[in-house]
């Protein structure tokens, strides 16, 4: 389903891909929309687990944020359907998209507040924290789009490397304590 998107995901295709009888689908989901509503939050938590695993290996501060950003871009590159699920969910599974975004924003908020408490990030009001979170998410979104549409695997690696480089320059000069 991820490769083809929500619109073309029929119950028959989903069941065939899962290797189960079509009727078995209904043992797990009431309808196709119920699956859509579970898919992004599930995949989003898998993605977040990957990011947190990478972050735990890095020092607090900029190194940790760069590790998360790099892990996100690598996740997008390695899980081709994730980008499509994420961005189509806003239309086809808006409740799932809101849940996913709330998970992402709350995690980012905790991370930024830890950075402020640790002296790595300049003191910001809650409104400005929310604003910077969405700005950073925008950078992630467009880097992910660039990776998604780059079909040459070796060029994807370059996109990731350049994106991390630019992201670091932006956060070092605009967000971190000087």
| pLDDT tens-place values along the chain, 178 residues long | 566 677 878 888 888 888 888 888 889 889 888 988 999 999 999 999 999 999 999 988 888 889 999 999 999 999 988 999 999 999 999 999 999 999 999 989 998 898 889 888 888 899 999 999 999 999 999 999 999 999 898 899 999 999 999 999 988 876 654 4
Per the listing, tokens 């998107």 go with 5
Domain boundaries, the chain: 33-174
| CATH superfamily label, 33-174 | Tetracycline Repressor, domain 2 (1.10.357.10)
The span from the CA of 73 to the CA of 95, in Å, is 24
Quick check: 147 and 73 in contact, CB under 8 A? yes
Its pTM stands at 0.86
3-state secondary structure of 176: strand
CA angle, residues 42, 90, 28, in degrees to nearest 5? 40
């Amino acid at each position: 389903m991820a490769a083809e998107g929500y619109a073309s995901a029929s119950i028959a295709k989903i069941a065939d891909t899962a290797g189960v009888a079509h009727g078995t689908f209904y043992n797990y989901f009431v309808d196709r929309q119920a699956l859509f509503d579970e898919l992004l939050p599930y995949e989003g938590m898998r993605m977040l687990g990957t990011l947190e695993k990478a972050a735990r290996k890095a020092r607090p501060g900029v190194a940790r944020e760069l590790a998360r950003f790099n892990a996100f871009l690598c996740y997008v590159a390695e899980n081709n359907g994730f980008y499509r699920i994420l961005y189509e969910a806003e239309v086809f599974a808006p409740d799932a998209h809101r849940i996913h975004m709330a998970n992402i924003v709350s995690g980012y908020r905790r991370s930024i507040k830890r950075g402020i408490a640790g002296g790595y990030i300049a003191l910001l009001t809650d409104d400005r924290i929310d604003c910077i979170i969405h700005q950073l998410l925008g950078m992630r979104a467009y880097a992910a789009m660039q990776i998604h549409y780059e079909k040459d695997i070796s060029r994807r690696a370059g996109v990731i490397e350049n994106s991390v480089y630019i992201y670091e320059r932006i956060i070092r000069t605009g967000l971190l304590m000087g």
